[in-house]
Structure 1
Amino acid sequence: MLYGVSSVQAWYYFFKYHQDAWYIRTLVGAVWLFETVHQLLISHTVYYYVITHYNHPATLDRIVWSILLEVLFNGLIGMLVQGFLAMRVWRLSGHNVLLTITVGALVLSCFGCSAAFTVQSLKLHTWAELEQLKGLSMAVNLLGALTDVLIAAALFVFLHRSRTGFKKSDTMISKLIAFTVSTGLLTSICAVASLISILASGHTLIYVAFYFTLGRLYSNSVLATLNARTIIRRIGENSDELSFSLQTISKTAQRNPTSARSTNISIKIDTMQDFMRDQHPNIGSENAEPESAATERSF
């Protein structure tokens, strides 16, 4: 079901946002491709145990290669999505090198543990032997949860600092905050549930259900974030200030709140002038200024 949701969201993205930058389109294409491979591997695993070796209980003790490769592709999806969010942290933090390096190190460490688990597990033959890699399994889930929490917390702080004091722009930022926190919290809960399952019942495969669901949540979260831009942008177009820089406003507000408000008004005036020129090319700057002045008085 979650793969179907991801496929629909990917189709909608390429249909609606085909003019996006090439690296964002590549990200979406890679995430959906890895999702598809992951789903094929799951289907092979189920077919192997349920169809091919139906009524052969002894087969249940052996590990099929496809379920082990699923860990690698799950890690690839997580690395792409968390890396994309790390770039958002980089931009919203005003290019905070220390914070971005910390997030990047956690992302790479989590993927490294997933790759190491895959390589080591392919040498094993039975589920009983797989318990030897319990430490790696715990490390993957722990690092994934820490990364999600750190990214969500960083985005929350920087978005919160970007509030302008204008009702509708603050509403837009509030929606971004709620969206960011909810997606980060959901993946964190899933990773923690997988970790708890390993600790409480490591001899079973309960944790596998949570871990493989985690990849689906990652892909759906990034696709939903990208596809929600139209709605969020529509809120901005109807707001008191049509465009602003989150980084500039947050820094200005910390130094001088009055100056930050003045910056928003000047941005409003420039936006209105551009709008007037786009809509009425024959109208000169002399006609545009009274409209801008009227806008300024509305505040």
Structure 2
Amino acid sequence: MSSPTIDNTLGATLLGFALASVLSGILIHQMFVYFMTYQEDKRFYKLVVTVIFVLEFINQILIGHFCYHYTITNFSNPFAIWVSHDTWSIIQTIGATVGSIVTMCYAARVWRLSERNHWITGILICLTIAHFVCSLAFTVKAFGLGPIAEVYMIKRIGRASLAFGASSDIATAAALCYFLNKLRKNFQHNLSASRLVDNLVRYGVSTGATTSLVSISCLIMFNLMPQNLVFIGVYFALSKCYAISFMAMLNTRRLMNGRGMDHSSREHSEQVRSRNSYASTTMQVARDPESRSESPIWSITSKEPSGNTENISLEVINPSQTAKKYSFFRCHTLEPENESFF
């Protein structure tokens, strides 16, 4: 067990503040891209993004105040570093809140992909709630602490909170990959849809691995060195990773659908023309050599009434027979442009 020093207390928090500042800049850029690109997105998404932005803005201010308190306000008081500050408890609560919001959104995504699987989604929700409740309990207990060395007194609560958070991240990433792989079987003969599913699987693994890695690192640091602030420096970046992964998911919806990809721009333009067109095409089937009658004419009129489904009316015209009419539906895309797997 490492004893507290300037390096593993004040130095760790300063490094964590620097990393959190960089991640905050990335998060602000992601939010700017979202509001500029998805101006007609659902109000629910906009509300969640706004709440996350406000919480992370307050969180970053509190992190700066935490470091300012020890480096500037108590510059001539080296013993102040051994006394805990209430700001940390608030930072921890905000971070847990952001993580819970993002995890709940991912659980909703799993709910849709799994065709409303109550068991899998219920497990994810229970892990998220357990993480949030343990975080609140840790915050309440931390307000009554004096010296930093007393953190070990609430070590079990902190360990449980971080463990539930890491378990939730790993379980969510595993569930997304599992159900996306099942979805791939339905599009084995559709190259563009199969490519979309592959991209979603890689994205789910990468985002889940990032948050899981930071959560596990924070858990290990807290278990090995609970009497210093190394785990706090890592925790400063955890909520930012949650927020960035959520914003990246929202901003890559068009990219995942093929928008912006060079290899799929032609396919997408053909889909747009097919969706927006109201065309009547007449084509003549090859004449049967043994038939004396004239070849039939196939008249196709197509239009899209709603959503991503095109209603196609087909009429067979033969001079020697009565005209026959057929109608069927065909689906163009895996999902609408402004929808995700929520």
Q: Do the structures match in fold with TM over 0.5?
A: yes
Q: Distance in 2 between matches of 1:47 and 1:204?
A: 18
Equivalent position amino acid for 1:32 in 2:
F
Offset of residue 139 of structure 1: 0.9
Equivalent of residue 205 in structure 2, options 165, 168, 181 = 181
CA contact (8 A) 1:194 1:210 kept: yes
Equivalent of residue 220 in structure 1, options 240, 244, 250 = 244
1:77 aligns with 2:98: yes
CA contact (8 A) 1:169 1:240 kept: no
Between the aligned residues of both structures, percent identity stands at 29
Equivalent of residue 27 in structure 1, options 41, 44, 48 = 48
Aligned to 1:96: 117
Q: Deviations over 1:130-155 (max 9, x none)?
A: 22111111111111111011111111
SS in 2 for 1:286: strand
- Which structure 2 residue ranges, 5 or more long, are not aligned? 1-21, 283-298, 303-311, 315-326, 331-342
Q: Which has the larger radius of gyration?
A: 2
More strand by share: 2
Q: Distance in 2 between matches of 1:277 and 1:130?
A: 61
Aligned to 1:205: 229
Aligned to 2:318: none
Equivalent of residue 278 in structure 1, options 272, 276, 279 = 276
Q: TM-score, normalised by structure 2?
A: 0.71
Q: Distance in 2 between matches of 1:107 and 1:115?
A: 13
Aligned to 2:16: none
Q: Deviations over 1:13-43 (max 9, x none)?
A: 1111121111111111111111111101001
Q: Distance in 1 between matches of 2:137 and 2:273?
A: 55
Q: Distance in 2 between matches of 1:276 and 1:203?
A: 64
SS in 1 for 2:257: helix
CA contact (8 A) 1:83 1:107 kept: yes
Q: Distance in 2 between matches of 1:10 and 1:276?
A: 33
Offset of residue 230 of structure 1: 1.8
SS in 2 for 1:234: coil
CA contact (8 A) 1:169 1:239 kept: no
1:196 aligns with 2:220: yes
Q: Deviations over 1:216-275 (max 9, x none)?
A: 110000001101112112259949997xxxxxxxxxxxxxxxxxxxxxxxxxxxx96x95
Distance 1:116 1:28, change over 3 A: same
- Which structure 1 residue ranges, 5 or more long, are not aligned? 243-270
CA contact (8 A) 1:63 1:126 kept: yes
Aligned to 2:181: 160
Q: Distance in 1 between matches of 2:45 and 2:194?
A: 26
More helix by share: 1
1:119 aligns with 2:164: no
Equivalent position amino acid for 2:252 in 1:
A
Offset of residue 282 of structure 1: 7.3
Distance 1:134 1:286, change over 3 A: same
Q: Which moved more, 1:93-102 or 1:80-89?
A: 93-102
Aligned to 1:268: none
Q: Distance in 1 between matches of 2:94 and 2:226?
A: 22
Cα RMSD over matched residues?
Answer: 2.7
Q: Distance in 2 between matches of 1:122 and 1:99?
A: 36
Q: TM-score, normalised by structure 1?
A: 0.81
Distance 1:276 1:85, change over 3 A: closer
Q: Distance in 1 between matches of 2:213 and 2:205?
A: 12
Distance 1:277 1:189, change over 3 A: closer
CA contact (8 A) 1:276 1:283 kept: no
